[in-house]
Chain A
Amino acid sequence: MPGKRNLQQVVLVVEDEVDVRKFASKVLEIEGYTVLQAGNAEDGLDLLKQHNVNLVLVDLRLPVNSGLWLLGEIKRTKEISSIPVVVLTASAEASQREKALGMGATDYLVKPISAAGIRKAVARVLRLKK
């Protein structure tokens, strides 16, 4: 089992594109993380309040409220503000990247991304957190 040691770590994937959400979740599950999934920012925030989440992987273009909105909510809410947020987006624009990092995102990943890309980014951020 490659990722048994990760079992106690919980990753929340917020992504409205079903295939991308399934892919990222599957990679992280195989790596031994516990994965929570949400299709929009509001559901994501609810899950964050109900569970102890160690990392959030979030898309920027989401229905209703955006990923940046969720990022802002996380950083604004004391109880969850220290959870690292990794952005996964199809927007390669520098301005978006700067905005997200400026708002407190820990990393900014651009689609398309490989299984290894997701795996390494999540592991790196969680290692840094420790």
Chain B
Amino acid sequence: MPKMINGVQKSWDKLEPDQLKLYAKELAELHINEQRILLELEEKNEVLEHRIRDLETLLEIDKVLVRALNEIELARSICRTLVDIEGYQLAAVRFVLTKDEENAQPIGQNKHEVRYPNSDDIRWADAQYIHSPTTVTINTGKPYVVQNILIDPSASLWSDEAIRNGYGSVFSIPLVADHKTYGALAVYALEGDAFDNEKMKLLTQVAGDLSFGIINLRSRVERNRLEKKMVEYEELDKLKTNLLSTVSHELRTPLATIKGYGTLLLDYDRRLKRSEKLEYLTSMVSATDRLTELVDHLLDMSRLEAGLLKLQKRPSSISKLVREAIAEARLRAKTHNIIWDKNGRLPKVNIDGRRIRQVLDNILDNATKYSGERTTVIVKTRVNKSEIHISTSDQGIGIPAEDLKRVFNRMYRVEQRLTAGIRGAGLGLAICKGLVEAHGGRIWVESEQGKGSDFYFTLPVLTINQVNDNAWKT
């Protein structure tokens, strides 16, 4: 094969020994050069492969960012991507824990099941994680890298566990929002020196993406919360408007009776019979009672709401209260059949008797008000170890299922079609609820439309100690 040496083409056989030596040397150099280029190419190729892998990682994370519905899922997917594509041994996210935060568990993904059998999640609450690279990152707010866990003295607080797991190096990156570190992403590799500048740049970008995704999700959650609050406020506003117009209506109606009959009596005194005058005056007195009751109810309601209602509790006989309430209800609703279903002796309870009587009167009044004449109302009293149960059961119009939850809301009244002609400001049951709860009891209703309603309330029974305590005090 002809070869050019020093610009002259020569055949192998015509070469002088010196020239041959020179030629061999040149050949050897050429070979070395070739090797070097090959090596360089290989290196470049490897770098390219890394780049491609990094791009794959970023692309996958982009997809995850779009798809994730909550931050746990997002963090888990990103960790999985880092392990699957980048080949790290463990990738884990840890959030700064605040008292009211639910994310008490960190999210992590590790490569082999050998060390964490049957689990994708690493429990950061475990003692061994109190000291960890993420702790360092969260405390300093800065990225933290240990290229050789085995020998780096800064790793000594947490390195035992890491060495046992076979980790060689670790890189931990803060998750930041509003200049505050709220968590960290930590990536562990089996080999030492696994994190060169390029890798650290990539992982920092991944942490940035994760952070962006989490903030996005959190703001979405916050927006949903605010939207829900808005709806609540709107409902409250409607209720308030309702309250104003109901109060106005309930105040003006008895006033209309008083002013009407009053001016009628003044203007037409001589045109009215004595019996008519007496009737008007009686109605005027009833109207003032109605007004007084409404004003008392409004005051009770605002005291209850402000927590200003003072109970004058003393050990009292519930039997006596029930007996008296039933006797008076019988006088008010003469055509109703009111029965007391009493089972055994009732113990004394520590209550404000006047207030519990108010509750009894109210639910008894409701029972007769919303049921037809000549129907039966059963008052039932029962006692167990800790509570007295008192209930009224009527055969009235009942309460539609959709209203059951709201009957104890102030100013809430069941649809007018059903309660037509029955007076009420919708305060009674709200006050009952407030009074029963102020006594440490519960109140609820069971009802079926058209069949009747059962109202229940409980009062805590006095323990022997409490009885003695009170006796000693008085």
Interface residues of A (CB under 8 A from B): 16-17, 19-20, 23-24, 26-27, 30, 61, 63-64, 90-93, 110-116, 118
Contacts and interface: CB of A to CB of B under 8 A. Distances in A.
Contact of B256 (A30, A64, A93, A111): A111
Given A23-B261, A90-B248, A17 B256 contact: yes
24 contacts: A19-B260, A19-B283, A20-B257, A23-B256, A26-B272, A26-B276, A27-B264, A27-B267, A30-B268, A61-B249, A90-B248, A90-B252, A91-B248, A91-B249, A92-B252, A110-B252, A111-B252, A111-B255, A111-B256, A112-B256, A112-B257, A114-B259, A115-B263, A118-B260
B258 interface: yes
Contact of A27 (B248, B268, B287, B416): B268
B263 A114 contact: yes
Nearest to A27: B264
A11 to B, nearest CB: 16
Contacts of A61: 249
Interface residues on B, range: 20 to 34
Given A19-B257, A91-B245, A115 B264 contact: yes
A113 B259 CA distance: 6
A113 B255 CA distance: 9
A16 to B, nearest CB: 6
Given A19-B256, A64-B417, A112-B259, 5 more contacts: A19-B283, A20-B257, A27-B264, A112-B257, A115-B267
A114 B258 CA distance: 9
Nearest to B287: A19
Nearest to B264: A115
Contacts of B283: 19
A55 to B, nearest CB: 18
A64 B252 contact: no
A63 to B, nearest CB: 3
B333 to A, nearest CB: 18
Given A23-B260, A91-B245, A116 B267 contact: yes
Contacts of A20: 253, 256-257, 260
Contacts of B416: 63-64
B153 interface: no
Contacts of B249: 61, 90-91
Given A63-B416, A90-B248, A93-B245, A113 B268 contact: no
Contacts of B421: 16, 63
Interface in B402-441: 416-417, 420-421
B141 to A, nearest CB: 57
A18 B14 CA distance: 141
Interface in B209-256: 245, 248-249, 252-253, 255-256
A116 B266 CA distance: 11
B271 interface: yes
Given A64-B417, A93-B245, A26 B253 contact: no
A39 to B, nearest CB: 8
Contacts of B267: 27, 115-116
B260 to A, nearest CB: 4
Contact of A23 (B245, B264, B417, B420): B264
Which of A19, A91, A115: most chain B Cβ within 10 A?
A19
A64 B245 CA distance: 19
Nearest to A115: B263
